[in-house]
C-alpha cells in the first residue's frame, strides 16, 4: 500500500450501506484500479462494467494493508490472483452447482423439445384452421337462414298463404335452426378433441417445469448451505440459515458473490482486523442502471444486508446516519392553519415512519407537536375558536436525504383533496440541486420511465418497456467550476426521479452531489425542495411557499 503515514485511521469500521469512503480506501481503490485495468486478460471485461471493492486491514503487527475483490466472476473465474477468492466456488467442475445445473439444463432441453415439437406445431395449426372453418361455415349458415327468413317474411307480408304453406315455412325455420346447432356441436367436438391433445402436451410441459422449479429451489438451498460465512466474534453460519432466521425465505441468487462479504470472509479466516471498506464501479454503466466509473457505492441491501449484519458482529461499526434521531428544533414550521401545515424537512429525516424504529419522521414530530399543543401563540390564535386538531396526515413525501418543503393535512378530507391535486399534477414543485458535472444543455425536459430495482431496493432503474412514466423539466441557474446549480421541475412524482434523471447517461449524466446511490457520497445529498405551490382545499386561494436552500 502506498505511503499513508499521514492519514488518520477511522475511529470505527465503515457502515457499508451509507458511508463516505475513507482516505485509506481511496488510496487502496486507486491502486486496485491501476492494477486491474493494466491486465490484458481483464481489461475489456472491466471496461464493460464491474463492481470492485477494497478492505483496509491490520495484521498481527498492526501493519496496514488492503484486500481487493470483485463482484461475481472475472474472466469466467472466481479465484484470480491479487483478488480474494469466492466464499464458495460455484464454478468447481465437479461441484454441486455444475452437476445440478447440468440436470436442470437437461430438463430445459426436454421442455423446449416438447414446446417446439412438430406434433404440437401441427395441432396448433389444425386448431387455427378448424376455428377459421367453424367461423366460415357458421357465418355461411346464418346468411342462408337470414335469406330464408327474409323470403318467408315477404311471403307473409304479401298475404294469401295457405295453412300448409305456413306449416312448411315453420318446418323450414326449425330445420335450419337445428342444422345450425348440429354444425356448432360438430365444430365444438372437433375443437375439444384438438384442445384435449394440446392440454395433454401442456400438462407434460408443466410437470417438467414444476420438477425444474423444485430441483432449482433444492439446489439453491443446498448451495447456500455451502456458503458458510464468519464474523468478528469467530462465529460461523451458512447463508441459507441467516436469511431464514431474519427474513424467513431463501436468499436471492448471487448472494455471497458481492465484494463486501468476500472481503470480510478472507480477513476473518486469515486473522486480519478490518479497518475500513469501500466498493467502487469500474467501466460502463449497465443498461438501465446508474453507475459511474470510479464512483463509490454502498453495499446492496437485498443480498448483503442480512449477510453483513451477521458478518459485522464483533466489530465496532459506525452507526447508521439515516437512523439518527433528530432534535426537536430541526423541524421548522413554514405555514400552519386549522386545515394543513407546511414544514421545512431537514436532510436525513424521514418524511413518514419507515422500517427503522429508531428514526423519527417529520410526520411523527408534527403529530407530537400538535398533541402537546406546542404550536406558537400566533398560529394557535388562527383557530382558537375551533376544535383543536391533534393529528397530521401524509400527503406526499420527500426522500430521507432530501431537504425542503412538505405539506401535511389535518383531516382526511383535506388529505384527499391535496392528494388529488398531486395526482392531477396541478401542484407545482421546484427543486434546487447541485450537480457533480456540467450538463450539455442549459434547459430541457427529461423523459425516462422508472421502476424499482427488485434486487437492490430502494434503487430505481430506467426501463423503457416496463417503467412508469417519469418527466422532469430542468434549467441551469449557475455554474460553479465543475459543479452546476440547477432548477428541477418534476411533472411526475416517481421515487428517486430527480436523482436518476440527473445521473443517468440518457438524462443529464451529472449525478447530484452527495448522491451515494447514483453518484458519490458526501456530507449530504445536495437536493432541496425549494418551492411548493398549490390551491388551498378550503379557501380556494393559491398558496405559494419557498424555502431557503440549505446545502450551500
Render pLDDT for 426-465 as a digit per residue (tens, 0 to 9): 999 999 999 999 999 999 999 999 999 887 888 999 999 9
Report the predicted TM-score, pTM, of the whole model to 2 decimal places: 0.72
At residue 343, the 3 state secondary structure works out as: strand
Q: Alpha-carbon distance 399 to 461, whole Å?
A: 16
Report which DSSP code applies to 316.
-
Q: Alpha-carbon distance 131 to 411, whole Å?
A: 58
The residues annotated as belonging to the active site are: 399
Q: Higher confidence at residue 93 or residue 82?
A: 82
Q: Is 27 left (phi over 0), alpha (psi -120 to 50) or beta?
A: alpha
Neighbours of 199 (CB within 10 A): 12
Residue 485 has pLDDT above 90, yes or no: yes
pLDDT recorded at residue 386: 47
Q: Higher confidence at residue 220 or residue 385?
A: 220
At residue 6, the 3 state secondary structure works out as: coil
Q: Per the structure block, which three cell numbers stand in for 333? A: 414550521
Neighbours of 407 (CB within 10 A): 23
Which class for 84: exposed (0-12), middle (13-18), buried (19 or more C-beta within 10 A)?
A: buried
Neighbouring residues of 167: CB distance < 8 A, sequence distance ≥ 6: none
Q: Alpha-carbon distance 300 to 265, whole Å?
A: 17
Q: How confident is the model at residue 377 (pLDDT cuts 50, 70, 90)?
A: very low
Q: Alpha-carbon distance 164 to 191, whole Å?
A: 41
pLDDT (average), residues 511-530:
91
Sign of CA dihedral 194, 199, 202, 208: negative
Q: Alpha-carbon distance 346 to 451, whole Å?
A: 26
pLDDT recorded at residue 552: 76
Q: How confident is the model at residue 383 (pLDDT cuts 50, 70, 90)?
A: very low
Long-range CB contacts (within 8 A, 24+) of 237-242: 237/310, 239/307, 242/306, 242/307, 242/310
Q: Per the structure block, which three cell numbers stand in for 372? A: 402537546
Q: Alpha-carbon distance 251 to 240, whole Å?
A: 6
Q: Alpha-carbon distance 498 to 527, whole Å?
A: 9
Q: How confident is the model at residue 511 (pLDDT cuts 50, 70, 90)?
A: very high
Render pLDDT for 396-409 as a digit per residue (tens, 0 to 9): 999 999 999 999 99
Residue 534: strand pairing partners: 543
Q: Alpha-carbon distance 11 to 514, whole Å?
A: 22
473 phi, psi to nearest 5 deg: -95, 150
Render pLDDT for 221-272 as a digit per residue (tens, 0 to 9): 888 888 899 999 999 999 999 999 998 988 988 899 999 999 999 999 999 9
Residue 417 exposure: Cα atoms within 13 Å on the Cβ side? 15
- Residue among 177, 130, 125, 180 nearest 152 (CA): 177
- What is the chain's Cα-based Rg? 34
Q: Is 214 left (phi over 0), alpha (psi -120 to 50) or beta?
A: alpha
At residue 279, the 3 state secondary structure works out as: strand
Residue 57: strand pairing partners: 65, 274
Question: In this structure, which CATH number among 3.30.70.890, 2.60.40.10, 3.40.50.300, 3.30.2350.10 belongs to the domain 322-546?
Answer: 3.30.2350.10
Amino acid at each position: 500500500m502506498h505511503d499513508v503515514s499521514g492519514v488518520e485511521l477511522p475511529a470505527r469500521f465503515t457502515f457499508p450501506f451509507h458511508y463516505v469512503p475513507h482516505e485509506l480506501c481511496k488510496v487502496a481503490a486507486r491502486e486496485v484500479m491501476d492494477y486491474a485495468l493494466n491486465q490484458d486478460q481483464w481489461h475489456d471485461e472491466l471496461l464493460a462494467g464491474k463492481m470492485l471493492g477494497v478492505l483496509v486491514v491490520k495484521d498481527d503487527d498492526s501493519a496496514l494493508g488492503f484486500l481487493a475483490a470483485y463482484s461475481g466472476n472475472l474472466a469466467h473465474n472466481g479465484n484470480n490472483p491479487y483478488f480474494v477468492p469466492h466464499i464458495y466456488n460455484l464454478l468447481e467442475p465437479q461441484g454441486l452447482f455444475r452437476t445440478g445445473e447440468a440436470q436442470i439444463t437437461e430438463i430445459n432441453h426436454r421442455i423446449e423439445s416438447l414446446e417446439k415439437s412438430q406434433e404440437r406445431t401441427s395441432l396448433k395449426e389444425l386448431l387455427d384452421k378448424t376455428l377459421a372453418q367453424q367461423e366460415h361455415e357458421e357465418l355461411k349458415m346464418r346468411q342462408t337462414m337470414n335469406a330464408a327468413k327474409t323470403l318467408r317474411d315477404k311471403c307473409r307480408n304479401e298475404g294469401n298463404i295457405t295453412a300448409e304453406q305456413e306449416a312448411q315455412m315453420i318446418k323450414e325455420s326449425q330445420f335450419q335452426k337445428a342444422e345450425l346447432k348440429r354444425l356448432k356441436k360438430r365444430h365444438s367436438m372437433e375443437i375439444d378433441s384438438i384442445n384435449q391433445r394440446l392440454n395433454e402436451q401442456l400438462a407434460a410441459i408443466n410437470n417438467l417445469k414444476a420438477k425444474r422449479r423444485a430441483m432449482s429451489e433444492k439446489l439453491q438451498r443446498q448451495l447456500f448451505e455451502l456458503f458458510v460465512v464468519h464474523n468478528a466474534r469467530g462465529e460461523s453460519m451458512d447463508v441459507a440459515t441467516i436469511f431464514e432466521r431474519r427474513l424467513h425465505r431463501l436468499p436471492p441468487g448471487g448472494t455471497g458473490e458481492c465484494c463486501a462479504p468476500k472481503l470480510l470472509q478472507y480477513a476473518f479466516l486469515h486473522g486480519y482486523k478490518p479497518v475500513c471498506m469501500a466498493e467502487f464501479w469500474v467501466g460502463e454503466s449497465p443498461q438501465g442502471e446508474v453507475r459511474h466509473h470510479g464512483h463509490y457505492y454502498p453495499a446492496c441491501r437485498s443480498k448483503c444486508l442480512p449477510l453483513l449484519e451477521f458478518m459485522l458482529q464483533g466489530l465496532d461499526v459506525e452507526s447508521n446516519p439515516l437512523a439518527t434521531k433528530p432534535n426537536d428544533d430541526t423541524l421548522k414550521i413554514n405555514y400552519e392553519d386549522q386545515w394543513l401545515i407546511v414544514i421545512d424537512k431537514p436532510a436525513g429525516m424521514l418524511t413518514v415512519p419507515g422500517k427503522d424504529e429508531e428514526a423519527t419522521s417529520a410526520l411523527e414530530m408534527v403529530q407530537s407537536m400538535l398533541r402537546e399543543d406546542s404550536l406558537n401563540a400566533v398560529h394557535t390564535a388562527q383557530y382558537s375558536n375551533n376544535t383543536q386538531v391533534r393529528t397530521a396526515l401524509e400527503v406526499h413525501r420527500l426522500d430521507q436525504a432530501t431537504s425542503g418543503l412538505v405539506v401535511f393535512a389535518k383531516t382526511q378530507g383535506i388529505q384527499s383533496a391535496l392528494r388529488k391535486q398531486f395526482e392531477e399534477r396541478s401542484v407545482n414543485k421546484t427543486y434546487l440541486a447541485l450537480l457533480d458535472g456540467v450538463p450539455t444543455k442549459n434547459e430541457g425536459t427529461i423523459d425516462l420511465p422508472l421502476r424499482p430495482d427488485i434486487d437492490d431496493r430502494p434503487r430505481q432503474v430506467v426501463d423503457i418497456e416496463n417503467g412508469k412514466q417519469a418527466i422532469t423539466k430542468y434549467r441551469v441557474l449557475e455554474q460553479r467550476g465543475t459543479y452546476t446549480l440547477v432548477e428541477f421541475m418534476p411533472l411526475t412524482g416517481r421515487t428517486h426521479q430527480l436523482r436518476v434523471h440527473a445521473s443517468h447517461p440518457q438524462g443529464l449524466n451529472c449525478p447530484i452531489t452527495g448522491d451515494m446511490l447514483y453518484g458519490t457520497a458526501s456530507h449530504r445529498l445536495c437536493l432541496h425542495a425549494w418551492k411548493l405551490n398549490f390551491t388551498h382545499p378550503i379557501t380556494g386561494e393559491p398558496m405559494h411557499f419557498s424555502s431557503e436552500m440549505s446545502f450551500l
